[in-house]
Amino acid sequence: MFEFDQYLGFLLFLVILTMGFWLMFFLVAIVPYWLGGSITELLKERKAKKKAEEAQ
């Protein structure tokens, strides 16, 4: 029948495949959302600073 080494190799393959899937999910879904929010906040801060300087 099958040896345990074959199952171990298959499990290792599944773990690496799953890690790759979640890494791609993180890079595609979460990082752009995070960058977009950061850029929006940065622009709001610059706009508020510019308004404060014009008011004085």
Instruction: Supply the mean pLDDT for the chain.
Output: 92
pTM of the model: 0.58
Q: pLDDT class for 1, splitting at 50, 70, 90?
A: low
**Residue 49: both structure tokens together:** 């600073």
Write b or e for each residue in 36-52: b if 16 or more Cβ atoms lie within 10 A of its Cβ, otherwise e.
eeeeeeeeeeeeeeeee
From residue 5, alpha-carbon distances to 8, 11, 19, 42 in Å are: 5, 10, 21, 53
Q: Give the DSSP letter of residue 29.
A: I
Looking at this protein, which amino acid is placed at residue 33?
Y
Write the pLDDT tens digit of every residue in 19-44. 999 999 999 999 999 999 999 999 99
Residue that wins the pLDDT comparison between 45 and 9: 45
